[in-house]
Amino acid sequence: MKVWTDRDGKRIDSTEFLKRFKEGVVKTSPLQQLRLQMWSSTPIFAGVLWGLVITFMAKTYWLTLILVGVLPIQSITFLGMYQKYISLKKTEDLIKEANSIELNGGGN
């Protein structure tokens, strides 16, 4: 049985670890999820570009054609995620600012 330690140094077993892991996943904010999706799509985008170079050099034009078709889809998907990220980030900043003003006495 695998035993982990938490931040306080307390040893936890696999059931407690899975319980905490599930709680952490549920508490993930939309902004964190979007950031992870963007970082995860970066190697895919790089792989498509690298694949284009390799398939063109290997003269497997049928695969090059497929990768050329995937490239705009991947680009638009990344651009859409980036735009959502910027929008969510601005919204989160506005909410933090509004909460800060409220906590400091309503901006008087």
Q: In this predicted model, which residue has the larger pLDDT, 24 or 73?
A: 73
Span 59-87, pLDDT tens digits: 998 999 999 999 999 999 999 999 999 99
Calpha distance 103→89 (Å, rounded): 21
Calpha distance 17→8 (Å, rounded): 14
7: tokens are 């931040």
Give the pTM.
Answer: 0.68
Q: What is the pLDDT of residue 28?
A: 86
- Domain coordinates of the chain in residue numbers? 30-103
Element (H, E) at 59: none
Give the confidence band of 11 by pLDDT, cuts at 50, 70, 90. Answer: confident
